Structure 1
Amino acid sequence: MRNYIAFFKKELLESVRTYKFFIIIAVFFAFGMMSPLAAKLMPKLISYANQDGMKITMPEPTAIDAWKQFFKNISGMGLIVAALIFSGVLANELSKGTLINMLTKGLNRSTVILSKFTAMIIIWTTSYALAFAMTFIYTAYLFKNHEMHNLLLSVFCLWLFGVLLSAIILLGGSLVKSSYGCLFITGAAIAILMLLNVFPKLQKYNPFSLSSNNVALLTNSVKVSELYYPIFISSVLILACIIGAISIFNKKQI
């Protein structure tokens, strides 16, 4: 347990020293602040187009438009930024051989995987919570009617998908010694989930729905019960990825 805590602190400190922590915090802070502002300013931007002879009408923006922007930004560029930040968390150390000294001194390989995964979740949760808080505050300030359905569940679903993404990245990092290879494996896994979502019978089981049905939850277009299977399957896949990463890493020659 002592080694786990020490290595976990080392991971957090390294993310601060390499400015990765500050980068993801800044990006998610911007997304959180920009989402309600973009929803509020969109009609005004459209009105400028009307002055040039184009006639485009838009309904008055509401709080749900702000949350639409939030989920669009985080599930798109937000996850991409997180993947880029996390892609080298294990692959870089394997390629540089920086783990050799620690492992030869008795550090358990499973401790390396678990501490890195914990650090990734802490960073992801902190940045995601900051984006959520900024969107919530600005939405409450800019929009009078900000009541909606299943907001916390929608936010949780996207958070869980981010955790799954982190687990896939860690599994990819245990397979290859390159951050580019890790990104390729992660991108391939997400592409497979997107492809499976094309088939209606598989949609209710697909973890990808956790990042695509957020707005539908807010409008009650999707029932809460329809997300039970994806939440359970995502949790199982997270566990499987971590166990797989530990198993592969234990057998890997460094």
Structure 2
Amino acid sequence: MSGTAVFARKEAREILRTWRIWVLPGILLFFAVTGPVVARFTPEIVGALAADQLGGFTIPTPTYLDAYAQWVKNLSQIALFVLIIIYGGLVSGETKSGTAVLVLTKPVSRSAFVAVKAGVHGLFFAVILVVGTLLTWGLTAVAFHTAPGSALWSSALVSLVLGELFIALMTLLSVLIGSSAGAAGAGIGAYALLSIAGIWKPLARYSPAGLGSDATALAAGAATDVLWPVLTALVLMVVLVALAAALYRRKDL
């Protein structure tokens, strides 16, 4: 077995043995379980808590699309913030602790070190998202007695691309910035810039800036063309990880 494969196994085991196995899955699975229930009973909840304040206003009857929209909203907002925070030290954490030096004395190159970290944690996020989407789908079917899958899965896959893009970004920022908090702060700034950029329609149409709004539209059952946002995001992921690897090769450990 190659050194790279051994390192990938080590990285996967660390996920299972550390706090990361609880934080991201716990948050996303909580929203996957509660989202359909909250969407289904929102009129009753609001009516019970604020009937007098509504002044006779009637809340529209919820549909399965409301449950889908809630899930995708959580993926596009809360999930990204969690990714940014927990992966601020994705590379710098091991560099500071000295673990990276020990790993790199084995037959593992610096480029492989960076690429494996991005790949393993990207796979971890993908598995959680698929499990959460399955839970949302099943519980929506129970709550609304109908749950066509196309709107949910298409929007979830677009959200997956957006999440993987931010994992690639945090890989680069973790190499560039020695502090986990500093990298997380830069990641939040990048999230804000991407959200603002998405307001300009031409940029949203042909760049990753449109992924968030595209996922929301798909969850609502609307037809939207996601080809260019997805393709440009995939290319940008490769560029970000390649740049992170190139910079890490020149970094003093």
Aligned equivalent of 2:243: 244
Query: Does the C-alpha gap of structure 1 residues 222 and 209 become closer, same or farther in structure 2, counting only changes over 3 Å?
Result: farther
Structure-2 separation of matches of 1:119 and 1:189 = 23
Q: What's 2:112 paired with?
A: 111
The two structures have a TM-score, normalised by structure 1, of: 0.92
Q: CA deviation at 1:22?
A: 2.2
- The answer for the alignment partner of 2:25 in structure 1 is 25
List aligned pairs for 1:30-109, cutoff 5 A. Answer: 30-48=30-48, 49-51=50-52, 54-109=55-110
- Give how far 1:155 is off: 1.3
CA–CA distance in structure 2, aligned partners of residues 115 and 101 of structure 1: 16
Distance across 2 between alignment mates of 1:19 and 1:105: 26
The alignment yields a C-alpha RMSD, in angstroms, of: 1.8
Q: Deviations over 1:105-149 (max 9, x none)?
A: 443111111211121112101211121011001001110233375
Residue 208 of structure 1, CA deviation: 2.8
**In the alignment, residue 5 of structure 1 is paired with which amino acid?**
A
- Contact kept, 8 Å, 2:32 with 2:132, in 1: the verdict is yes
**Partners of 2:106 and 2:150 in 1: how far apart?**
53
For structure 1, the residue ranges without an aligned partner over 5 or more in a row are none
Q: Which amino acid aligns with 1:84?
A: I
| Alpha-carbon distance between aligned partners in 2 of 1:117 and 1:84, rounded to the nearest angstrom | 15
- Which residue does the alignment assign to 2:197? 196
Q: Distance in 2 between matches of 1:194 and 1:73?
A: 15
Shift of 1:243: 0.6
Superposition misfits of 4+ residues, deviation over 4 angstroms: none
Aligned residues between the structures: 252
Q: Is the 8 Å Cα contact of residues 204 and 211 (structure 2) preserved in structure 1?
A: no
Q: Which residue of 2 aligns with 1:205?
A: 206
Secondary structure of 1:99's counterpart equals helix
Which ranges in structure 2 are unaligned for 5 or more consecutive residues? none
Q: Which amino acid aligns with 1:76?
A: Q
| Cα distance in 1 between the residues matched to 2:157 and 2:143 | 24
Displacement of 1:222:
4.1
Identical amino acids, percent of aligned pairs: 25
1:34-91 superposed Cα distances (whole Å, 9 cap, x missing partner) = 1101101210112121156743311211100101111111211122122222222212
Sort the Cα spacing of 1:52 and 1:102 in 2 relative to 1 into closer, same or farther, 3 A: closer
Deviation at 1:206? 2.7
- Kindly provide the amino acid, as one letter, of the partner of residue 61 in structure 2: E
User: Normalized against structure 2, the TM-score is what?
Assistant: 0.92
- Superposed CA deviations along residues 206-247 of structure 1, whole A, max 9, x for unmatched, are 313222222312445442xx2111011001100100110110
